């Protein structure tokens, strides 16, 4: 074998040795320059039905009404609504779920009207016909605090009556439970978007 052929054989042998060492060490070739790497897989999605939700209420501009409203799947069906709201004027205040989960406007008009997926007239929560978002009134004591403990028999976390992604709105005045379409409850003093909460 001449010298040139020997050199080629030697280089080839060295290449094979380097390749074998890389394989033994578990190394892989680097991607070519400019090659796109696959994105990491997304985190696993939450599984199972929603059983709890919550809305953190914030005040309208220059207001001080705030609080938390909790929604829990009721054992016999519907949704159990609980919570505490502070900073209210003493007395009765309209309390509703509105159609859009958008509290961005200073007066909360961005939340739209009452949540009403079935096209019913406004009324009291126990009336035969009423908006799905008609939760009636809450009562604030002398200290401006209202406690909520109410079960909405038709409430849901899925389907067209789902409260998820809607807005809870507290009004300045009492809901008269009859004036269309919103009970003449006055301005909106607090708003919060209903989101999925961690199961208990």
**The tokens of 33 are what?**
């320059």
Name the domain count of the chain: 1
151: domain CATH number is: 2.60.40.200
Residue 131: active-site member: yes
Q: Is the pLDDT confidence value at 119 over 50?
A: yes
**The tokens of 75 are what?**
């054992």
pLDDT in tens, 132-159: 999 999 999 999 999 999 999 889 999 9
Q: What are phi and psi of 89, to 5 degrees?
A: -70, 140
Binning pLDDT at 50, 70 and 90, where does residue 34 land? low
- Asked whether residue 180 is domain-assigned, the answer is yes
Residue 98: active-site member: yes
Give the DSSP per-residue string, 156-193: BSSGGGB-TT-EEEEESS---S-STTTTT--SEEEEEE
- Asked whether residue 64 is domain-assigned, the answer is yes
Residue 93: active-site member: no
- Asked whether residue 175 is domain-assigned, the answer is yes
Cα distance between residue 99 and residue 115, in whole Å: 4
Residue with token string 């003493």: 90
Of 93, 130, 166, 188, the active-site residue reads 188
Average pLDDT over residues 42-69: 85
pLDDT score for 16: 41
- Asked whether residue 107 is domain-assigned, the answer is yes
Binning pLDDT at 50, 70 and 90, where does residue 62 land? confident
Of 93, 96, 130, 166, the active-site residue reads 96
Of 93, 130, 166, 171, the active-site residue reads 171
Residue 171: active-site member: yes
3-state secondary structure labels for all residues of 52-104: EEEEEEEECCCCCCEEEEEEEECCCCCEEEEEEEECCCCEEEEEEEECCCCCC
Residue 96: active-site member: yes
Q: 91 in the Ramachandran plot: left (φ > 0), alpha (ψ -120 to 50) or beta? A: left
- Asked whether residue 90 is domain-assigned, the answer is yes
pLDDT score for 15: 45
Domain interval for residue 60: 52-196
- Asked whether residue 140 is domain-assigned, the answer is yes
- Asked whether residue 166 is domain-assigned, the answer is yes
Average pLDDT over residues 162-188: 96
* Torsion (CA) 12, 16, 21, 22 in degrees, nearest 10: 100
- Asked whether residue 7 is domain-assigned, the answer is no
12-16, 66-70, 91-95, 117-121: segment of lowest average pLDDT: 12-16
Of 122, 130, 152, 166, the active-site residue reads 122
Residue 161: active-site member: no
Of 131, 152, 166, 175, the active-site residue reads 131
């Amino acid at each position: 074998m001449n010298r040139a052929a020997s050199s080629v054989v030697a280089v080839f042998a060295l290449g094979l040795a380097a390749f074998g060492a890389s394989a033994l060490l578990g190394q892989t070739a680097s991607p070519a320059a400019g090659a796109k790497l696959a994105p990491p897989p997304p985190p696993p999605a939450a599984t199972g039905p929603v059983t709890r939700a919550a809305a953190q209420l914030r005040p309208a501009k220059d207001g001080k009404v705030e609080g938390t409203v909790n929604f829990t799947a009721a054992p016999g069906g519907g949704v159990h609504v609980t919570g505490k709201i502070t900073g209210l004027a003493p007395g009765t205040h309209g309390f509703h779920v509105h159609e859009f989960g958008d509290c961005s406007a200073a007066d909360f008009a961005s939340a739209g009207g009452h949540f009403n997926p079935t096209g019913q007239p406004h009324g009291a929560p126990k009336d035969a016909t009423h908006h799905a978002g008609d939760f009636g009134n809450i009562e604030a004591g002398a200290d401006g605090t209202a406690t909520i403990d109410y079960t909405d028999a038709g409430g849901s976390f899925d389907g067209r009556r789902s409260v998820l992604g809607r807005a809870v709105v507290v009004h300045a005045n009492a809901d008269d439970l009859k004036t269309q379409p919103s009970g003449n409850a006055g301005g909106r003093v607090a708003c919060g978007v209903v989101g999925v909460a961690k199961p208990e």
